[in-house]
Amino acid sequence: MLHGWDNFFITGATAGATLIGLLFVAITLGTGLSTARGLDSTRAFVTPTLVRFGGALFLCLAVLAPWPSAWPIGIILGLIGLTGFVYQIHVIFMQRKVDFLLRDWIDRALFSAAPVLANASLITGAAGLIAGKSFAPYAVAGAVTLLLLAGIYGAWSITLWIARDRDKT
């Protein structure tokens, strides 16, 4: 069912791995992350961004494995989608407690709504894989794309936050 999607998922895995490395570089260059406020912000924004990149990487690698049928990967992706959905709800509550750069609707949409949609798409794709539906690869690819988009936006906001806090010291 996922035949012909190799290039997309290889590209997605490469992007996820590369962006994880760049996120580590950005955080290493950051200041103010060891304060109490900084640790709360790290838990609310940096960790979820890392989870999004890592999730995209893991999804791509899992899909590329030579599964004997669509059932095992469908179950795995469904469990990942459910776990990601619950985690994102937790993240939303954490983010509401922290002063950060979330100023307008686009910030909230990309930090909160995009990961929720990604996990919903992943759950839908997993169910489609199990049921043998032709839309399944598109739903899984949509989840990977949304996770990468949300992660890139999160990394950009983190970079702006680091620059803002550096000016305060």
Inside any domain, residue 10: yes
Inside any domain, residue 84: yes
How far is the C-alpha of 57 from the C-alpha of 113, rounded, in Å?
20
What pLDDT score does 169 carry?
46
pLDDT in tens, 44-62: 778 899 999 999 999 999 9
What pLDDT score does 41 carry?
66
- Domain housing 116: 6-168
What pLDDT score does 167 carry?
54
Length of the chain: 169
pLDDT at 92 over 60: yes
Inside any domain, residue 91: yes
Per-residue DSSP letter, 45: I
Mean pLDDT of 98-113: 71
Number of domains in the chain: 1
Q: Which tokens sit at 10?
A: 């290889």
Give the largest CA-CA distance in the chain: 56
Q: Which tokens sit at 129?
A: 């894989």
Inside any domain, residue 1: no
pLDDT at 18 over 90: yes
Q: Which residues of 54-66 are buried (b: 16+ CB within 10 A; e: fewer)?
A: bbbbbbbebbbee
How far is the C-alpha of 10 from the C-alpha of 6, rounded, in Å?
6
